[in-house]
Chain A
Amino acid sequence: MAERIMNGSEVVLQALTDQGVEVVFGYPGGAVLPLYDEIFKQNHIRHVLVRHEQAAVHAAEGYARSTGKVGCVLVTSGPGATNAVTGLTDALLDSIPIICLTGQVPTHLIGNDAFQEADTTGITRPCTKHNYLVKESSKLARTMHEAFHVATHGRPGPVVIDLPKDILVSPAPYIDPSQVQHRTYNPPVKGDRSEIEKAVEILASAKKPVLYCGGGVINSGPQACKLLAEFTRLTGAPITLTLMGLGAYPASDKQYLGMLGMHGTYEANLAMHDCDVMVAIGARFDDRVTGNIDFFSPGSTKIQIDIDPSSINKNVAVDVGIVGDVGHVIEDMMKIWKAKQYSINQAALDSWWSEIEGWREKRCLSYVQPADIIKPQHVIRRMHALTRDRKTFITTDVGQHQMWAAQHFGFEHPNEWMTSGGLGTMGYGLPAAMGVQVAHPDATVICFSGDASIMMNIQECATLTQYRLPVKTIILNNRYMGMVRQWQQLLHGSRYSESYSETLPDFVKLADAFGFTGLTCKDPADLDATLQKMLDIDGPVIVDIAVDDKENCFPMIPSGKPHNEMLLGHETSGDQAIDSDEGMVLV
């Protein structure tokens, strides 16, 4: 077997190249200097220098989620690795394939409390899908290839490879990916045939079906999303998506009920509560989705499709569990559905839909846009209207603005929505947008953020400038940690403990200081012009929009309540209620 001998750093770079890596997000330091030297000498792999290691991981997540490829990160030992931990945890909870190379002190110093030493594999064990410490040069190439296999097969996730400095400079044999077969980790993609048949039969006999779909569909790929749309139309069932699943099914379609969960739509949550058959597809019954688990969808037969066996029966006991890749399983379900000429009883389905239409009448996402102050929801809606004709990617930070973006920006395609779902990481949006823009240089990339979240990775503005990444950051500025303020108002007697943003920077001057454009807007009449101007500027822009600081995010299932006890907030009323005009404020 042909083995080429190189030095360790060359092996790492060669493995990345052979695994199809085009970009690495990283930050140099003592332990990874040999790797950076190798990066200097080659032209295959582009390196994007971030300003904080957490941002490197989020950028790689944005890159991965918008392309379906693996995101790659390179950081140094000690603080480089510990700074990456938040990003790794984020990627783990949202099932994003990431390879994170961390430097390590030389093998003979490991355990000596050496300078910039940290027990990286120990620290990252619970926040990665898997991790490796390479202690022998002979295992370096194999470990690199295995890591890519693990990150991308089964339920995707982040994998750390800890690389001691002496390994990076010692001679090491290189073997190419085709010579590496994983000993144990080969998760199946096809679902069990008899379980699938059972599931299809149950669905066909439903009177009140609902399809509840999540990020697993998007991870399964664009083809899986296409199959899901076909299957949904074939059955005529209503479909709802989780925060992670947005874009897996077109938001404009009439069978779509909107997002479900804590800030989901009234119709989606009531359909979940009242259905008689629920098909969970690539979704994991997260607590933000289920509300109070004891009262969750009490009368339904539940079917769950997931590639991760541990997702099945974890929070909610299901009647049929199918372990497999969503795309493959839906394809099989569709074949069986057609072969057996199944159909859901039309009369029952009609009466179910008329019940749903009744819930839709509530117009739970409606709001009133007054003349004197900008409603945050309105910004999202206008942004959606103004970008309809272009390839647009949206990232968010975490909080009220995130939920408003999820509720009001209609996502038609997968891989165009990047948000920190599981971990809820403030500071995710800007670096994620960077990663998306690196992958899609010509697309419009918008980061919706809040005045608090944006401060958490604001240093990345320098990265935007350096690489001329024209990311548009929209700050919905209410001078509060809005979601914290909302919970304090609803649950803590309006005692706004430490949630007011006392000293915010002048974001226009800040953008200027970083070398790009800052805009502001506070008059609703100027909103469209400001947003259009932002889109027209050829470069990064921060738009600081002063929005109503009293606005709360509704509907809302308060913690501990079931789906059918949603708070709808203010009902639309008064002469300023705007009703269903194209691109305007109502749903």
Chain B
Amino acid sequence: MKETEISKHTISVLVDNEAGVLARVIGLFSGRGYNIESLTVAEVDAGSRLSRITVVTSGTPMVIEQIKAQLGRLVPIHKVSDLTLAGPSVERELALVKVIATGEKRVESLRIADIFKARAVDATNTSFIFEIIGSPEKIDAFNKLMEPLGLSEISRTGVAAISRGTLMM
């Protein structure tokens, strides 16, 4: 019965956009010792004041089930959906990556950015800021290639995710 394999899950949570709701979610994760790999939140429906939280977490199947059940019983929460189990989904993250380099390294960083369809959104004689959008894995790969070329600072948004096709949460 004991399943010990740890897997990564992306969970979408629809909540009332009210004071303290994010603290409730974060407090739940820290209080019960669950893992947060990334978390994003923003209002998605101003009319009915709903926000959507996307949280990437990991754990055994029993822990993942617990996380969803615990989220579900928070009072301001409307819906909890496990996108990893619900079927195929699109996951996207945006990163701003600062590369400080000159000479050949500077040129090489531009070439790699081109391959990854990253856009330079700021440039000086010695630096670029690249904006890259993609799956977390794609951004990881991009950062890895930039590392020897002068990568100096990264800001990532965390994952936003949604089910593919007509499926809704």
Quick check: A313 and B66 within 8 Å, CB to CB? yes
Note all chain B residues with C-beta closer than 8 A to A310.
66, 69-70, 72-73
Quick check: B75 and A129 within 8 Å, CB to CB? yes
Quick check: A133 and B19 within 8 Å, CB to CB? yes
Q: How far is the CA of A150 from the CA of B19 in the complex (A)?
A: 18
Q: Is B168 an interface residue (CB 8 A)?
A: no
Nearest-Cβ distance from residue B40 to partner chain A, whole angstroms = 21
Nearest-Cβ distance from residue A451 to partner chain B, whole angstroms = 34
Stretch in B20-28, B95-103, B112-120, B146-154 with 4+ CB within 8 Å of A: B20-28
Q: Which residue of B lies closest to A309 (CB)?
A: B69
Interface string of B1-42 (1 = CB under 8 A from A): 110000000000000100110011001000100000000000
Q: Is A130 an interface residue (CB 8 A)?
A: yes
Q: Is B59 an interface residue (CB 8 A)?
A: no
Quick check: B75 and A317 within 8 Å, CB to CB? no
Q: How far is the CA of A130 from the CA of B62 in the complex (A)?
A: 25
Q: Is B77 an interface residue (CB 8 A)?
A: yes
Q: Answer whether A312 and B27 are a contact pair too, CB < 8 Å, given A133-B19, A184-B78.
A: no
Q: Is A121 an interface residue (CB 8 A)?
A: yes
Nearest-Cβ distance from residue A401 to partner chain B, whole angstroms = 31
Q: Which residue of B lies closest to A183 (CB)?
A: B16
Nearest-Cβ distance from residue A386 to partner chain B, whole angstroms = 44
Q: Which residue of A lies closest to B69 (CB)?
A: A310
Quick check: A150 and B66 within 8 Å, CB to CB? no
Q: Is A122 an interface residue (CB 8 A)?
A: yes
Q: Answer whether A309 and B27 are a contact pair too, CB < 8 Å, given A133-B19, A183-B16.
A: no
Nearest-Cβ distance from residue A288 to partner chain B, whole angstroms = 19
Nearest-Cβ distance from residue B3 to partner chain A, whole angstroms = 8
Quick check: B73 and A125 within 8 Å, CB to CB? no
Quick check: A154 and B77 within 8 Å, CB to CB? no
Q: Is A185 an interface residue (CB 8 A)?
A: yes
Nearest-Cβ distance from residue A458 to partner chain B, whole angstroms = 32
Interface size class of A (residues with CB under 8 A): 20 to 34
Q: Is B65 an interface residue (CB 8 A)?
A: yes
Interface string of A163-204 (1 = CB under 8 A from B): 000000000000000000001110100000000000000000
Pick the contact of B77: A133, A184, A308 (CB < 8 A).
A184
Note all chain A residues with C-beta closer than 8 A to B16.
183-184
Interface-central residue, A121, A185, A310, by most chain B CB under 10 Å: A310
Which residues A99-128 have CB closer than 8 A to chain B?
Answer: 121-122, 125-126
Pick the contact of B23: A122, A187, A312, A314 (CB < 8 A).
A122
Q: Which residue of B lies closest to A135 (CB)?
A: B19
Nearest-Cβ distance from residue A93 to partner chain B, whole angstroms = 13
Q: Which residue of B lies closest to A146 (CB)?
A: B75
Q: Answer whether A185 and B19 are a contact pair too, CB < 8 Å, given A310-B70, A313-B65.
A: no
Pick the contact of B73: A121, A183, A309, A313 (CB < 8 A).
A309
Quick check: B23 and A125 within 8 Å, CB to CB? yes
Chain B contributes a number of interface residues (CB within 8 A of A) equal to 21
Q: How far is the CA of A184 from the CA of B19 in the complex (A)?
A: 16
Q: Is B134 an interface residue (CB 8 A)?
A: no
Quick check: A130 and B75 within 8 Å, CB to CB? yes
Main secondary structure of the interface of A (DSSP, over half): loop
Q: Which residue of B lies closest to A126 (CB)?
A: B31
Q: Answer whether A150 and B75 are a contact pair too, CB < 8 Å, given A310-B66, A310-B70, A317-B62.
A: yes
Q: Which residue of A lies closest to B71 (CB)?
A: A310
Note all chain B residues with C-beta closer than 8 A to A121.
20
Q: Which residue of B lies closest to A155 (CB)?
A: B73
Q: Answer whether A125 and B20 are a contact pair too, CB < 8 Å, given A184-B78, A317-B1, A317-B2.
A: yes
Interface string of A314-345 (1 = CB under 8 A from B): 10010000000000000000000000000000
Note all chain A residues with C-beta closer than 8 A to B73.
154-155, 187, 308-310
Which residues B46-72 have CB closer than 8 A to chain A?
Answer: 62, 65-66, 69-70, 72
Nearest-Cβ distance from residue B28 to partner chain A, whole angstroms = 8
Nearest-Cβ distance from residue A121 to partner chain B, whole angstroms = 6
Quick check: A185 and B75 within 8 Å, CB to CB? yes
Q: How far is the CA of A154 from the CA of B77 in the complex (A)?
A: 14
Q: Is B76 an interface residue (CB 8 A)?
A: yes
Q: How far is the CA of A98 from the CA of B122 in the complex (A)?
A: 56
Nearest-Cβ distance from residue A161 to partner chain B, whole angstroms = 13
Quick check: A313 and B31 within 8 Å, CB to CB? no
Quick check: B69 and A125 within 8 Å, CB to CB? no
Nearest-Cβ distance from residue B82 to partner chain A, whole angstroms = 14
Nearest-Cβ distance from residue A102 to partner chain B, whole angstroms = 15
Note all chain A residues with C-beta closer than 8 A to B77.
184
Q: Which residue of A lies closest to B18 (CB)?
A: A132
Q: How far is the CA of A185 from the CA of B73 in the complex (A)?
A: 8
Note all chain A residues with C-beta closer than 8 A to B2.
317
Question: Given contacts A133-B19, A184-B76, A309-B69, could you give 10 more A-B pairs where the C-beta distance is less than 8 Å?
Answer: A125-B24, A130-B74, A185-B75, A310-B69, A310-B72, A310-B73, A313-B62, A313-B65, A314-B66, A314-B69
Write 28 A-B pairs (CB below 8 A) sorted by A numbering: A121-B20, A125-B20, A125-B24, A129-B75, A133-B19, A135-B19, A154-B73, A155-B73, A183-B16, A183-B78, A184-B16, A184-B78, A185-B75, A187-B73, A308-B69, A309-B72, A309-B73, A310-B66, A310-B69, A310-B70, A310-B72, A310-B73, A312-B69, A313-B62, A313-B66, A314-B69, A317-B2, A317-B62
Interface set of B (CB-CB < 8 Å, partner A)? 1-2, 16, 19-20, 23-24, 27, 31, 62, 65-66, 69-70, 72-78
Q: 5 closest A-B pairs (Cβ-Cβ)?
A: A310-B69, A130-B75, A309-B69, A317-B1, A310-B70
Interface set of A (CB-CB < 8 Å, partner B)? 121-122, 125-126, 129-130, 133, 135, 150, 154-155, 183-185, 187, 308-310, 312-314, 317
